[in-house]
Chains A and B, each alone.
Chain A
Amino acid sequence: MNLKNITRFVPSTLCLLTVALMLLVSLQSIRLVVPVQPLYGTFDDPVKPQLSYTDFCSGVWQAQVDKYLRQTHGFREPAIRLYNQYQWSLFGQSPVPQVVLGRNQYLFEPYVVEDYYESRMYKYTNSPEELLRRFDIESQRLAKIQAILAQYGTHLFVVCWPSKDHIYPQYLPSRGNLTRPKGPTAIDNYPPLFAQYGIPCINYCSYIEQRRDSLPYYFFPQMGTHWSTIAATYAFDSVMRYMRQNTSCLIPQVVLGNPYSDYTRYPDADLSQMMNLIRLPHPRREQYVDVHLAPGQSAIPRSQRPGLIVIGDSFFKNINLAFPLDSLFRYCHYWYYNSTIHYDSLYDNTNQIDLVAQLLDADIVMLAYCSGQLYDLGVNTLQSARNFTTQALVQLCFDTDRIQQTIDDICSRIRSDQSWFERLQRKAEQQSRTIDEVVVDDAEYLLFTQPEEFFPELALPGIPTSRSSRIANAIHQ
């Protein structure tokens, strides 16, 4: 067979190959034929569309199918990586909205950039006075919780870590479209308020900012959003010193080894991984330090060690990676800001717990936020859109019966307001829930957003005198 005969078959072969490749994509979407590397990051679970006659006729089902296919088709992962790489390599821009490219290939999260340029206020309100009032009310509520818990032997304090913008402002991208007038920032306003209301607070931001040029290690990795593991290690070492000095808790001593250089480890490159490229940008080597229990410290029985509850953002994750927390505390439960609980063998969500019992059982409660997340102090820790501060304060001060009675009263108010009730009926229909559930949800939201409106005792200055009977039960247990 000569070349001419062979080439005759090229077009038909290519045509059939095209169809075969297209069918492979179809097949891969139904059943994984070619193994693909999963994408980095967490995604909303794709909802498999349920076919109904009305949805089909209105085109809703078809739109859902297309969205579902976009989220699940067989070659989604390599297809996304290829396009992301194109955006990154050709245009030098981040392919995902969660990552912003700064100077010298430093990566940032957008909220950090907004915080540095003092534009983060606009996420919450357009009024600086309104935001400052909110900071003040939150601080007062937290001060009351802190004072009540102190009466029962639980030490509550706040730690503020610096975000990446505070340490490396020289690598931030330019101000860009953040042209609105500057607003107040949480890190400038919360710590003075904590001091004013007597809440113990360790503010690392100003301390580290002063020393950032002389630090012998990178405080933040170039490709990550959280502080470096080494920075987290040194910082938490000093937090533990604070705990030993300001509580009577017996916390084993630790020894920090000498810093050493190593290839970037998870999660120090979380932002570059988040971009899901084919080829990750090459980061510099980072420094690490190992932490060990000091000789003889393991002998302290677990029952004598303190129970620690950490409420805060993901900066604590690096601490957990570096420290043998299980050997230092009786327990260390971490309440994350999406209502999940981590490092707790019993519960994985805050809606499963008895809040009062948990707070009183702990010896130390640490609220720890980076400067960029401090705006959301306690927000969403306890179920969606409900503040830790309001809910803890109400539950510590009032019995379940009274709280329930208040919720019932608000529900009646909602039901008697026609336009409000109709709005909720529409919402219930949209969310396929019962109207009762939606009404109770709204009532609880209202109560835990503005508790002072429904419990006048909370609006008075000083610590409320009323106490929930659950405190006695918790102590008794």
Chain B
Amino acid sequence: MVFSSHVFLIYFLPAFLLAYFLTPSRWRNITLLLASVLFYSWGAPDFILVLLGSTVANFYLVKAMCHARKLGVKKLFCALAILLSLGLLAYFKYANFFVDNLNSVLASLGLGTLSWTKVLLPIGISFFSFQSVTYVLDTYRGINAPMRRLTDYVVYIIMFPQLIAGPIVRYTDIADQITSRRRLRWGECLQGFYRFVIGLSKKVLVADVLGRAVDVILGGDIASLDTGTAWITIMAYTMQLYFDFSGYSDMAIGLGRIMGFRFPENFNNPYISRSITEFWRRWHITLGTFMRNYLYIPLGGNRKGRGRTYFNLWLVFLLSGLWHGASWNFVLWGAYHGLFLVIERLLGVGGRTVDFRSPVLRSLAAVGGTLYTFVVAMVGWALFRIDDLSLCWQFVSRLFAFDFSGFALLQQHQFYAILAVSLAFAFLAAFPWGRKLQQWTFYTRFTPLQHIPVWLVAVFLLFFALGALTASDFSPFIYFRF
């Protein structure tokens, strides 16, 4: 089930909210647990037992780890728990990829290929595996005590708002909220509802509109694309991805807030970044945090010399790419970003703005940095979107072909208007007044009377987004039968 589906919006969400509000505080985790099991079973019924089984096993492995007195035994249980989480991820997500590539190599050597039944990918496995890892490691490091009750742990892993697409919530960030979050506060619930509606609108009214045009162009003959269309397409995809993913995160954060959770932010205006290094501090923040805390630092981070630092950085991004999908285009995408991070670090510009004395030069440098980051990110998204590498190369070469004949994206007023609006919102925070507006929208604690107009707008937007979802395939016949 996804948040922007009719089943979720029309039946699941209202029924869940009603049940959740009517449940006494101490039983709310049980309501949330049952709803999450239903939510996951709807989308992937075959895998609910895998999810629950691995979660229960992990809980007891960590419990055993904490009870172990010898460090060796502790480490063993820790390794087993991590192996379980990452092993499942490796098997379900990467086994097909590995066997396909192995077979290609074997075939090219003239040897027989392995017979293999394709493994289906359980939805959300990349997210809940990483959350399990944070639980194991945060507990192992003594940052937090382990959960006492199994139900609380299962809620942490499978609670439906962040189960499928994050944010990746570190155990340490949410441990207290699971066991002892405050009673329902109506103002918070409303703020959560507003955030959910903003996310839904970003997904349905912006991302989906751009996505439809992008799919048409990239589903056609890429080799004959003109340069103008290619750039507009990749720009639209850049915006689609941002509004889709950040919209989903907003919905998750909003739903969490309705239930009394505070999930970490996942995006912070990534496209206003002035370097790729800064971009990764603003894009998918929870993944970046995970990679830094649980991979980069354990690898040695920047403590083992310059060469090792560059290697660590690049490896982390290579693996980040692979985490996004088991296919070579994602690996290349990760390597591409890692390469820019290493270059920026070599040049000493990563994350820092060159401090010119002249305000004009300062502004020019800022604009130049933002433009550079945006273009590098856009070209990178081509690798992310087009999984066939030869097609991807064709597309990237069309970007730089300087062929401006036969512009294909014509007469699409809504597409251009939405693209313009999305660009405006993506760069809004580059200006002080934009940051203020964003701050007000997301973080203002409205007074009771302020809630009334904001609520009216939110209800309208919710209904409007439902209209957009419903009208997406609305196609009546004029005189099919009269």
A residues adjacent to B (C-beta < 8 A)? 7-8, 10-12, 14-15, 18-19, 21-23, 25-26, 29, 39-43, 56-57, 59, 62, 65-66, 69-70, 73, 75-76, 78-84, 86-87, 90-93, 95-98, 109, 173-174, 176-177, 179, 225, 270-271, 274, 276, 314, 317, 338, 340, 342
Contact = CB atoms under 8 A, between A and B. Distances in A.
Given A42-B479, A62-B7, A83 B14 contact: no
Given A73-B470, A75-B466, A317-B482, A42 B186 contact: no
Given A15-B186, A56-B45, 20 more contacts: A7-B448, A18-B190, A19-B14, A19-B18, A42-B481, A59-B44, A69-B7, A70-B473, A75-B463, A79-B463, A79-B466, A79-B471, A80-B474, A84-B471, A90-B414, A90-B417, A93-B411, A98-B475, A98-B476, A270-B479
Interface in B460-477: 463-464, 466-477
B346 interface: no
A333 B479 CA distance: 17
A73 B6 contact: yes
B14 A39 contact: no
Nearest to B468: A83
The 6 residue pairs across chains A and B that have the minimum distance between CB atoms: A41-B476, A22-B14, A83-B467, A79-B467, A11-B186, A10-B448
Nearest to B479: A314
Interface stretch (B90-98, B371-379, B451-459): B451-459
B406 interface: yes
Name which of B413, B414, B452, B479 has the most chain A CB atoms within 10 A of its CB.
B479
Given A18-B455, A276-B476, A176 B471 contact: no
Interface in B7-49: 7, 9-11, 13-15, 17-18, 21, 42-46
B109 interface: no
Contacts of A270: 478-479
B471 A83 contact: yes
Chain B interface residue count: which class? 35 or more
Contacts of A87: 414
A82 B467 contact: yes
B411 A274 contact: no
Name which of A11, A26, A29, A59 has the most chain B CB atoms within 10 A of its CB.
A11
A435 B230 CA distance: 47
Contacts of B478: 41-42, 98, 109, 225, 270-271, 274, 314
A82 B462 CA distance: 12
A76 B470 contact: yes
A276 B448 CA distance: 38
B14 A91 contact: no
B470 A80 contact: yes
A96 B474 contact: yes
10 contacts: A7-B448, A10-B451, A10-B452, A25-B9, A40-B476, A70-B6, A95-B474, A97-B475, A174-B411, A317-B482
Name which of A10, A69, A91, A174 has the most chain B CB atoms within 10 A of its CB.
A10
B193 to A, nearest CB: 6
A25 B475 CA distance: 23
